[in-house]
A and B are shown apart, each in its own frame.
Chain A
């Protein structure tokens, strides 16, 4: 019987909230994405908190907050402890995104949901896979194979295929079928008839996607128009996702036009982002990897973009028009918010949004039509403590320290009492480092000298303090002093020691400023003030989200034509729209569950395995049809040694079966075929094909979106009794295989 599959959304259905879904396959619980939004509202994670401890594996699809933002929090606070699977770029860029989020937040609030250490530990155990890598789970998930495939939305972004016993569950959200500068299009279309497809309806109602080169020209024109009149351009971007595409567009345009306006990429982690991205060429589009292979041009060696990691550098930059790409895209925090407030009241400036802001954020507010004239923003800033506050803080700290010390000393006393009367040989509490093994080079003398010169601290626990005394226990035999061969072995670590000190920071390179911010333990506090910002600058929004639009979503789903479809992550209208559309023309089983509603999408497919005997196969003649070969078999079940059923040839003549025509007739192709055979052929009204003078051919009955998906084809051929009729019928038969 089929594999049991249950889907229950934890967040992000019937709205644009972050994505997080629980899929359980034969009792093995997958958490698909673990997202949060820029507002970091813990109430969104409530459903997750209820199931976090039962999750067996986490699959991440994209390196942005919406897809993985809650991972550190869930790991630390909600008891999520499952292994996490992601591609290398999703892991690395996701880590940087979280750093950037944390640092931006920390600047403006007393952010305490998670710390940098929590981020590090959450990402430490990510198991990294490559695209199309079939990873066999072990233990509880024995028999399940997971594989990430190209999604095309962000670098490393993946759609996940989970296979068990030949049944496929595909999780595809935020995919993009179009090829972009740095990314290949998704391979979702190559999946055929999976048992379950879980996908988003996010763009189901959005169909207005202009041609990409038109969009690019418009984008660049808008920017240069504002630069030329002396304005500044701000692009609020994400940390390490879609921004890469924008950087490439700008970089390319700048080198073609030889513009001198500076471009700044400002996030807390911008330089490490680009450093890593430079080594991710394998994950990018064919054209980028090709250009590196043939001419060693790394597309992300940015010549026109200056990477900045703090705002002061931007303030110190030479005045004049400039383009700044800064995080966060939502304008809720980060450098983008500060810059927006600074630049908003100059009509020459431009704020160019490249993606729809998250719901309820400043960016979303500004994108509404008509844009607001004024916005009220709360600006917060972290300032070092000074004056009385500092004194108060220090006193508080001192008090805490004293308490700590007091407690420690109490504990120590306890211990001392406990370890009364120590063993003579125990040199444990001794402060001096004494080498008990002989050094190969060092003679006995100096080894002791160290101790004498450095002074002697009597072990506090010893009953009778005395100098440490070592007996020279060198043994002699007839060949001289007995030596221990181990002392002369060259130590393995010798060579590595030099390099290892460099590799200390395992979890990624933090920029210097970031590091200083992290290590900055000066007492500080957050001050906030509300201000009204007059929005006189231009606000423009262009679609660089890199998602398939509604039309392509529909055709992609129709092409994949899953047996069961689960819709998530979209507004209620979009979800409903796609649901109706899919019910009408794709498949009869469409589900759009609500939060914490579990839908059972176990396939009702019956299947059993049989062995095909050599005898049977030698009698089968296959006919080739596209990728596959078909044949009719009549067989009976025979016995084999094992439990497996084996199909043998029929003992007696098989009952004749109803003949089947196999093939997919495309009227357009058939028309060409006929005309190549010298038959006059044209389309008459109503999809009928007129062949020769009298014969007409038409498809009747319900026709699906795509051939094959919705049932057998019905073809009607009619005409008067004549030679042409039989000729055309023969041509028609030649398009099919009769079984």
Chain B
């Protein structure tokens, strides 16, 4: 509520040493690509963005540095998209750690997540002890994952978050988190370019205070989409026209679907190619096709319009292959196969067969991880090592046409310029690329108001936000707007990060809470004359009003306007009052008095005499107590001139006037603390005034 209108505009620079600390720590993807996992904590709320693995490693080594944090403290875990480096350690994190928060991802991401990880578990050939999780864990994790739709606002423990389209793959999201008015945008992998089926990443409506942004492409610039597509189709067309075969090693999901759409469309427009088969050799992609055919709403208008006529993901010229055994290598063809890095599997098998024929072509359509064969052949070596250990000449043409849906430098810088976040944190990029990007961004934002950081893994970025706490005073308490110096007293209700101040009587109106009054009535056996009680009470309490009960005609007393004492019968009297600490105390003393009357009379008189001791002695006692308490708090307390107390802490001195409670001194902080302490001590030591209305 507090952040509705004023915060639409970009806030003042909130940089200062004071305020609440916000910590951002990459547990993975800090100066590296892979195992995305960013930890963030602010005002007691903790969020984890993404939960990936590093596909280059196996077992525990692939995980982000989870041991840096306490998983049980995390409130919310947000997954941006289904890629392994963003989602694959989720089953481990959910099932094997103490994490007990809530997990969110989009519908499409959840549907593909399961298929993808089940496949990952099957194909990763690691020993049992290196297995991070099994299929059972994945199925169990499905029950814990909650879904969020684009733009839907969800609130968990006062953390508000919603997501925007990220454009990277189907279901990819950028998360905007709002904790007590401080906004953090985590882009995940994103692309600002609309392609065949995905929408471009949206520009958030609000400017975030912190933008955690990917930097995969660094300072590179992408070719325009149309040139890329033309190069792609030209290479394929000329290769198959010359009787060659085209191998496209690609990861089964994401870019592959885009390439298939391009091919299907190109084939549809070129009838001369109709006799040349296109295969996609991935059972996983085949399974996921149903997801692509369903979540049309997450895609762009182009696909939605096509859907009005026929589902564009029902391909007309492309068929699926289950394994290499089904593949008959008889002539020109186009095969898209996974894995994208040519490490092993179907794509590698085909590569080994086709690499020495110079008519063939291999198109590498996306980002290549260091150390994979795909990265090696980009440099066109003369020879390559086959899977069986032999070397073979590399004669086939190798083309690198990047279809990677990561924002390039132009997109990143315009995106950031539109948003103008005061803090930019770079993640998900190879260290050198990231450094170059950082340098170049510095030149783009030369005014010095923008901080750009690229923390390494486990290196924390600490930021401070002066979060103003705003409260709304409502109801009876707000009937008159107070001026400076007026006092405001009431119940402060905090829900999430919103505060309201209200009168106790309004509590049930404006909140789900309610107040209660407890009326107590006890009966005490007493057989003496009621007049005795009246007399005794009159001696102890200042105000005793006597009256008669209207119904029974029996006498009744009202002590201090609080407790009613009534004669119920010959044998009993009753006490009735409404609970609060003072009334409870008064009633207790009445009870004690009544009980003592019936036992022995004189004792009270003695006590009475004791009670009427000199004021002076009392005052001394009070002073002693105050002194002792101050010593216990501040240590060095001396009695100074004019009865003032001199308190010195770490060389700072404050003078306290015991009579007025005034404090003088140089150091503001000490002054304030002494004042508060003395005020509290006084209210504890001095008798409670009875007229508390």
Q: Do A and B bind each other?
A: yes
CA distance A86 to B268 in the complex (A): 37
In the complex, are the beta carbons of A657 and B489 less than 8 A apart? yes
CA distance A659 to B310 in the complex (A): 70
Give the contacting residue for A495; candidates B229, B475, B507, B513; CB below 8 A.
Answer: B229
**In the complex, how many angstroms separate the beta carbon of A156 from the nearest chain B beta carbon?**
11
Interface pick from A306-314, A348-356, A455-463, A615-623: A615-623
- The chain A residue with its CB closest to the CB of B148 is A132
In the complex, are the beta carbons of B478 and A607 less than 8 A apart? yes
In the complex, are the beta carbons of B107 and A282 less than 8 A apart? yes
Give the contacting residue for A506; candidates B152, B308, B580, B683; CB below 8 A.
Answer: B308
Q: A509-B309, A656-B688 are in contact. Are A610 and B473 (CB under 8 A)?
A: yes
Asked if B624 CB lies within 8 Å of chain A CBs, one says: no
CA distance A609 to B4 in the complex (A): 13
Interface pick from B272-280, B299-307, B318-326, B437-445: B299-307
Asked if B679 CB lies within 8 Å of chain A CBs, one says: yes
Q: A498-B268, A605-B475, A609-B472 are in contact. Are A134 and B153 (CB under 8 A)?
A: yes
CA distance A500 to B671 in the complex (A): 76
In the complex, are the beta carbons of B297 and A88 less than 8 A apart? yes
Asked if A130 CB lies within 8 Å of chain B CBs, one says: yes
Residues of chain B within 8 A (CB-CB) of A503 are 302, 305-306, 308-309
In the complex, are the beta carbons of B513 and A663 less than 8 A apart? yes
Asked if A675 CB lies within 8 Å of chain B CBs, one says: no
In the complex, are the beta carbons of A612 and B499 less than 8 A apart? yes
Residues of chain B within 8 A (CB-CB) of A657 are 489, 692
In the complex, are the beta carbons of B152 and A628 less than 8 A apart? no
Q: A605-B474, A606-B479, A637-B486 are in contact. Are A714 and B493 (CB under 8 A)?
A: no
Residues of chain A within 8 A (CB-CB) of B582 are 659
CA distance A736 to B581 in the complex (A): 13
Give the contacting residue for B142; candidates A134, A293, A608; CB below 8 A.
Answer: A293
Q: A279-B307, A712-B508, A713-B516 are in contact. Are A654 and B492 (CB under 8 A)?
A: no
| Extra A-B contacts (13), CB below 8 Å, given A279-B307, A716-B519 | A143-B4, A166-B4, A282-B149, A293-B110, A503-B306, A612-B499, A622-B492, A628-B511, A632-B492, A645-B482, A656-B689, A662-B491, A713-B515
In the complex, are the beta carbons of A661 and B516 less than 8 A apart? yes
CA distance A494 to B152 in the complex (A): 37
Asked if A658 CB lies within 8 Å of chain B CBs, one says: yes
- The chain B residue with its CB closest to the CB of A297 is B290
Contact with A along B494-526 (1 / 0, CB 8 A): 110001010011011111111111111111110
Residues of chain B within 8 A (CB-CB) of A339 are none
CA distance A633 to B114 in the complex (A): 51
Contact with A along B455-466 (1 / 0, CB 8 A): 000000000000
Q: A133-B151, A282-B295, A494-B230 are in contact. Are A665 and B516 (CB under 8 A)?
A: yes
Chain B residues in the interface with A (C-beta under 8 A)? 1-2, 4-5, 8, 107, 110-111, 114, 139, 142, 147, 149-154, 162, 205, 224, 226-227, 229-230, 262, 265-266, 268-269, 287, 290-291, 294-297, 302, 305-310, 468-476, 478-479, 481-495, 499, 501, 504-505, 507-525, 579-582, 591, 661, 672, 676, 679, 682-683, 688-689, 692-693
CA distance A558 to B375 in the complex (A): 66
Asked if A330 CB lies within 8 Å of chain B CBs, one says: no
In the complex, are the beta carbons of A630 and B294 less than 8 A apart? no
Residues of chain B within 8 A (CB-CB) of A539 are none
Q: Which 4 pairs from chain A and chain B are nearest by CB?
A: A503-B305, A718-B521, A133-B151, A708-B514
Q: A508-B308, A636-B486, A658-B693 are in contact. Are A615 and B493 (CB under 8 A)?
A: no
Give the contacting residue for A609; candidates B471, B508, B683; CB below 8 A.
Answer: B471
In the complex, are the beta carbons of A625 and B491 less than 8 A apart? no
**In the complex, how many angstroms separate the beta carbon of A124 from the nearest chain B beta carbon?**
12
Asked if A660 CB lies within 8 Å of chain B CBs, one says: yes
CA distance A699 to B489 in the complex (A): 29
In the complex, are the beta carbons of A633 and B520 less than 8 A apart? no
Residues of chain B within 8 A (CB-CB) of A296 are 111, 287, 290-291
Residues of chain B within 8 A (CB-CB) of A652 are 661
Asked if A206 CB lies within 8 Å of chain B CBs, one says: no
7 A-B contact pairs sorted by A residue (CB < 8 Å):
A133-B153, A134-B153, A193-B510, A609-B472, A630-B513, A645-B482, A658-B693
CA distance A619 to B110 in the complex (A): 46
Asked if A635 CB lies within 8 Å of chain B CBs, one says: yes
**In the complex, how many angstroms separate the beta carbon of B569 from the nearest chain A beta carbon?**
13
In the complex, are the beta carbons of A709 and B230 less than 8 A apart? no
Q: A494-B226, A605-B475, A713-B514 are in contact. Are A610 and B470 (CB under 8 A)?
A: yes
In the complex, are the beta carbons of A660 and B510 less than 8 A apart? no
Contact residues on A (Cβ < 8 Å of other chain), bracket? 35 or more
Residues of chain B within 8 A (CB-CB) of A498 are 265-266, 268-269
Residues of chain A within 8 A (CB-CB) of B476 are 606
Residues of chain B within 8 A (CB-CB) of A714 are 516-517, 519
Residues of chain B within 8 A (CB-CB) of A710 are 508
In the complex, are the beta carbons of A635 and B478 less than 8 A apart? no
Task: Choose among B268, B305, B486 the residue with the greatest number of A CB atoms under 10 Å from its CB.
Answer: B305
In the complex, are the beta carbons of A633 and B501 less than 8 A apart? yes
Q: A166-B1, A656-B688 are in contact. Are A720 and B152 (CB under 8 A)?
A: no
Give the contacting residue for B518; candidates A629, A637, A638, A717; CB below 8 A.
Answer: A717
CA distance A130 to B298 in the complex (A): 11
**In the complex, how many angstroms separate the beta carbon of A622 from the nearest chain B beta carbon?**
6
Residues of chain B within 8 A (CB-CB) of A289 are 107, 147
CA distance A138 to B515 in the complex (A): 41
In the complex, are the beta carbons of B469 and A612 less than 8 A apart? yes
**In the complex, how many angstroms separate the beta carbon of A301 from the nearest chain B beta carbon?**
10
Asked if A650 CB lies within 8 Å of chain B CBs, one says: yes
In the complex, are the beta carbons of A143 and B295 less than 8 A apart? no
In the complex, are the beta carbons of A739 and B305 less than 8 A apart? no
CA distance A510 to B470 in the complex (A): 54
CA distance A129 to B495 in the complex (A): 27
In the complex, are the beta carbons of A628 and B493 less than 8 A apart? yes
In the complex, are the beta carbons of A499 and B512 less than 8 A apart? no
Q: A657-B692, A719-B522 are in contact. Are A662 and B309 (CB under 8 A)?
A: no
In the complex, are the beta carbons of A629 and B519 less than 8 A apart? no
Contact with B along A698-735 (1 / 0, CB 8 A): 00100000011111111111111100010001001100
Give the contacting residue for A709; candidates B1, B110, B508, B524; CB below 8 A.
Answer: B508
- The chain B residue with its CB closest to the CB of A618 is B676
In the complex, are the beta carbons of A647 and B471 less than 8 A apart? yes
CA distance A130 to B490 in the complex (A): 39
Q: A281-B107, A632-B492 are in contact. Are A166 and B149 (CB under 8 A)?
A: no
Residues of chain B within 8 A (CB-CB) of A717 are 518-521
In the complex, are the beta carbons of A661 and B518 less than 8 A apart? yes
- The chain A residue with its CB closest to the CB of B498 is A166
CA distance A494 to B154 in the complex (A): 43
CA distance A294 to B112 in the complex (A): 9
CA distance A665 to B474 in the complex (A): 25
Residues of chain A within 8 A (CB-CB) of B521 are 716-719
CA distance A639 to B692 in the complex (A): 29
CA distance A619 to B683 in the complex (A): 15
- The chain B residue with its CB closest to the CB of A279 is B296
CA distance A663 to B516 in the complex (A): 7
Q: A166-B472, A279-B295, A282-B297 are in contact. Are A635 and B487 (CB under 8 A)?
A: yes
In the complex, are the beta carbons of A130 and B518 less than 8 A apart? no
CA distance A129 to B162 in the complex (A): 13
In the complex, are the beta carbons of A713 and B473 less than 8 A apart? no
In the complex, are the beta carbons of B508 and A130 less than 8 A apart? no
Residues of chain A within 8 A (CB-CB) of B495 are 627-629
Residues of chain B within 8 A (CB-CB) of A664 are 513-514, 516
- The chain B residue with its CB closest to the CB of A164 is B4
Give the contacting residue for A502; candidates B266, B306, B509; CB below 8 A.
Answer: B306
In the complex, are the beta carbons of A712 and B516 less than 8 A apart? yes
CA distance A505 to B287 in the complex (A): 30
In the complex, are the beta carbons of B522 and A490 less than 8 A apart? no
**In the complex, how many angstroms separate the beta carbon of A227 from the nearest chain B beta carbon?**
33
CA distance A714 to B688 in the complex (A): 26
Asked if A192 CB lies within 8 Å of chain B CBs, one says: yes
CA distance A726 to B149 in the complex (A): 54
